[in-house]
């Protein structure tokens, strides 16, 4: 009989985060680390200090989606936990997610509360599919202002990050964070793995979309808390990480939403994403910043 849970961690030059990440899930079941051609000694460290971890070395940087797919294909568990290396799960997270999925047979994907080092909730851990107008409110700062005001304003202008939902109660959502996402094996078998067109960002949003359209539910399930040192790996990617984020936004829109909104809205979305890309990529070329994201 195989393990109940397979934990899949994609690592790229994040050796300093791995001890905390792996120690928190070492007893959860099978642990697989896919090393995306790190240059910081990650593979040697894992082979020496974590012999029980299944180390997969593809020999090149496959990107986040493709590396996770490699781990999924090798995994034996009934439940697949995709976990960023720059995270630390509390003691309740893995077992809590398994119990939640058992108790909700129609739930195919669930994600816990993901928090910043200061304890604040990372908004990406519970999301709705954004409309072009939602994206406009987010990029112009209106969504942030409405979250601060709360109430009906948050429900209207910050619906993308589900600011109207309570933090401590489970809720059906459109997507959860790829920093910590548990899926039933049946989901991967039914809809396939992550779309490898998404190199670094957006793949979990796409996966959740496909799961929902295949009849599965996606749940925000605050059964545990996961500390996420956001950008622990991708900040080393400089402008490429920022470009990958903008590119992922366009890929998702083109794949799932362009037909719904038509050419006029699509032109506006393209211009907005292009402007976002220029405004975020150029500063990293002049002065390297700290892009948000994950290993890839």
* Domain ranges within the chain, ordered by starting residue: 5-126+166-232, 128-164, 235-286
Share the mean pLDDT of the chain.
85
Mean pLDDT of 51-67: 95
pLDDT winner (highest mean) among 50-54, 145-149, 237-241: 50-54
Fold observed for domain 5-126+166-232: Spore Coat Polysaccharide Biosynthesis Protein SpsA; Chain A (3.90.550)
Give per-residue pLDDT as tens, 259-291: 877 787 777 767 776 766 666 666 666 654 443
* Beta bridge mates, 113: 225
Of the given ranges (144-148, 196-200, 272-276), which has the lowest mean pLDDT? 144-148
**H and E: helices and strands count for the chain:** 11, 9
* Rounded Cα gap, residues 134 and 150, in angstroms: 16
pLDDT of residue 291: 39
Instruction: Report residue 32's pLDDT band, with 50, 70 and 90 as the boundaries.
Output: very high
pTM as predicted: 0.84
Strands (E), the chain: 5-11, 30-35, 54-56, 79-83, 87-89, 107-115, 171-172, 180-184, 217-228
Tokens for 127, please give them: 């999301």
């Amino acid at each position: 009989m195989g393990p109940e849970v397979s934990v899949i961690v994609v690592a790229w030059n994040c050796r300093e985060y791995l001890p905390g990440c792996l120690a928190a899930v070492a007893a959860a079941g099978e642990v697989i680390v896919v090393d995306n051609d790190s240059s910081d000694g990650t593979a040697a460290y894992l082979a020496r200090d974590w012999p029980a971890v299944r180390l997969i070395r593809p020999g090149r940087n496959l990107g986040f989606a493709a590396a996770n797919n490699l781990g999924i294909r090798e995994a034996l568990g009934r439940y697949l936990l995709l976990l960023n290396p720059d995270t630390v799960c509390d003691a309740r997270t893995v077992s809590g997610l398994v119990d939640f999925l058992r108790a909700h047979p129609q739930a195919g994907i669930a994600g816990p509360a993901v928090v910043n080092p200061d304890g604040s909730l990372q908004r990406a851990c519970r999301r709705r599919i954004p409309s072009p107008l939602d994206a406009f409110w987010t990029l112009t700062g209106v969504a942030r202002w409405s979250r601060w005001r709360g109430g009906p304003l948050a429900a209207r202008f910050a619906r993308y990050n589900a600011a109207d939902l309570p933090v401590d109660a489970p809720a059906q959502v459109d997507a959860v964070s790829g920093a910590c996402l548990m899926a039933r094996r049946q989901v991967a078998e039914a809809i396939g793995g992550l779309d490898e067109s998404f190199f670094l960002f957006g793949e979990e949003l796409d996966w959740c979309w496909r799961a929902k359209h295949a009849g599965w539910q996606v749940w925000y399930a605050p059964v545990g808390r996961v500390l996420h040192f956001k950008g622990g790996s991708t900040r080393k990617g400089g402008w490429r990480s920022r470009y990958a984020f903008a590119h992922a936004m366009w890929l998702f829109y083109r794949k799932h939403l362009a037909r719904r909104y038509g050419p006029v809205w699509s032109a506006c979305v393209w211009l907005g994403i292009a402007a976002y890309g220029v405004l975020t990529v150029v500063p990293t070329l002049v002065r390297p910043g700290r892009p948000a994201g994950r290993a890839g």
